[in-house]
Structure 1
Amino acid sequence: MTPDAITHPLLERAGVRHGFFTREGGVSTGIYEGLNAGLGSADDPAAVRENRARVARALGGELGDLAGPYQIHSAVALLAETGWPDDRPEGDAVATTTPGIICAVLTADCAPILFADPVAGVVAAAHAGWKGALGGVIQSTVDLMKTADADPARIVAVIGPCIAQESYEVDEAFERRFLIEAPGSGRFFRLGERPDRRLFDLPGFVLWRLEQAGVGQAAWTGHDTRPDAARFYSNRRAFLHGEPDFGRMMSAIRLG
């Protein structure tokens, strides 16, 4: 079965291979059923390896071409000149100027972002949960791409499936942190069902961060991960249902 991947016109026009892969088209079973690419999950390692290989092949590569960091919810962006099939450096974004290297990140509600400057010949992938988005992973990714002669005004960036505002309830302390550390971010919160609860617009906040970083064109695919169990893994949904773990989806991009 061919892995299911969501693509976007902004990246298609940039001429780069890419995909926001869903959970469909993999070999994992049970709570991980489908294309679980999460090495940190308690899934069968052989199944995860096969799922990751399927993603790589769908983009015209092999498992050894994947450059996906060991994610730590940071602002660390890394440059890849080879794949990282085994020894993965810590970070939450990866860029490359090397054709054939597949920049990849894992998510299960956090926002995956794929970037491209086709003129400079540089692509990147970033994992932006609320911590990374607030802490600067988007600016770090753009800054790293600039070292490879990317022009922020030329960069196109697309946010893939992630948890949407109507599915993302937080508390007042969460909101206060954003108001202090990112002045002007109050527009991304609205009242929840109780007076002490808020609904946070993660994709809207990420789009704002991309704008602040000078990215020329940006968009969100519009997919909410939490309600669609058939197509997406979701950390929040697994927690609410009392499940012990959850799968991770891979989003990936390559030159050539």
Structure 2
Amino acid sequence: MRIRRVTTTREGGSSKAPFDSFNLGGRVGDAPEAVAANTRKLAEGIGLPEDHLVWMEQIHGRTATVVDGPQPGPVEATDALVTAQPGLALVALTADCVPVLLGDPEAGVISAVHAGRVGARVGVLVEALKAMRQAGAQLDRVEALIGPAACGACYEVPQAMQADVEEHLPGSACKTRKGTTGLDLRAGLFEQLAQVGIAKIGVDPRCTMESPELFSHRRDNGRTGRFASVIWIDPEEDR
């Protein structure tokens, strides 16, 4: 089965500043009609019905939820979605946190994960992989894409926070460009994936804080939009 992945940018949408312009986050203070227009454009762009986009509430937890069809709204209290249903697009919204897209093309099982600092620390990626295995995926066949996020050179945190996250997510501690204590969550998540046997791991190198075409909560002082990382199984391949 062909697994498709897309990462949007902030360009080409209907939202006005400071959410300009392709904001897909419905809970950031943007005009609802602008978010709705952007959502329609996303669905049209990937060639799926709008109701086949599946969203998450995203509470910075570690719950992974399996879905088998369109949902009436964002899936409550979850930070990872898993499906084996072709044509169902799983969406992770971010603006510094790490989106991770996972897929086993042979089993036809995919997942979209929202891994912020808290979620990465408590093991949301591990829970997503566990749910994928229960749905029929094999870890040695899973392909992973770690999406754009705040890089370690920019992501400054207190020393105690760094030590706590490093204890739970080894490989994430780093020094920032300024020489202060920092976190590279993508490095920690990469190591976590490798440790469980994921061999095919891609990383989008863009830093949200440094890339103007992406939204960044930290860079924009907390008032900004969200871009989407989307994964789906091509329904045409299933016919």
Give the TM-score, by structure 1 length: 0.86
Q: What letter corresponds to residue 141 of structure 1 in structure 2?
A: A
Which one of the candidate residues 136, 157, 161 is aligned to 1:170? 157
Matched residue, 1:3:
none
- 1:216, CA displacement in angstroms? 2.5
Decide whether aligned partners of structure 1 residues 177 and 115 sit closer, same or farther in structure 2, where only a CA change above 3 A counts: same
Query: Partner of 1:245 in structure 2?
Result: 223
Q: Distance in 2 between matches of 1:225 and 1:169?
A: 14
In the alignment, which residue of structure 2 is the partner of 1:215? 198
Q: Does 1:189 align with 2:146?
A: no
Find the partner of 1:39 among 26, 29, 40: 26
Moved more, 78-87 or 108-117: 78-87
Code of the residue aligned with 1:72 in structure 2: it is I
8 A contact 2:56–2:77 mirrored in 1? yes
Q: Which of the residues 199, 211, 216 maps onto 1:234?
A: 216
Q: What is the SS of the residue equivalent to 1:236?
A: coil
Residue of structure 1 equivalent to 2:131 = 144
Answering whether residue 83 of structure 2 is matched by residue 105 of structure 1, we say: no
Whole-angstrom distance in 2 between the partners of 1:181 and 1:160 = 21
Deviation per CA, 1:59-114: give whole Å up to 9, x if none: 21122111111000111111111222525322001011111111111000111111
Alignment partner for residue 67 of structure 1, among 54, 64, 75?
A: 54
- Residues 81 and 246 of structure 1: is their aligned pair in 2 closer, same or farther, counting only changes over 3 Å? same
The alignment's C-alpha RMSD in Å is 1.7
Kept after mapping to 2: 8 A contact 1:65/1:85: no
3-state SS in 2 of match to 1:32:
coil
CA contact (8 A) 1:115 1:158 kept: yes
Q: Give the AA of the match of 2:29.
A: A
Letter in 2 for 1:248: R
Paired residues of 1:83 and 1:102 also in contact (CA < 8 A):
no
Residue type of the alignment partner of 2:111: A
1:14-163 equivalences in 2 (<5 Å): 15-163=2-150
> Residues 112 and 161 of structure 1 are in contact (CA less than 8 Å); yes or no, is this contact kept in structure 2?
yes
Q: How far is the alpha carbon of 1:221 from its aligned partner?
A: 1.1
Count of aligned positions: 234
Q: SS of 1:99's equivalent?
A: coil
CA distance in 1, matches of 2:178, 2:185: 18
Other-structure match for 1:5: none
* Unaligned segments of structure 1, at least 5 residues: 1-13
Moved more, 114-123 or 87-96: 87-96
- Which structure 2 residue ranges, 5 or more long, are not aligned? 235-239
CA displacement at 1:193 relative to structure 2: 3.3
Q: Which amino acid aligns with 1:193?
A: K
Task: Measure the CA separation in 2 of the matches of 1:221 and 1:30.
Answer: 26
| C-alpha contact 1:104 1:253 (8 A) present in aligned 2 | yes
Preserved contact between residue 66 and residue 101 of structure 1 (Cα < 8 Å): yes
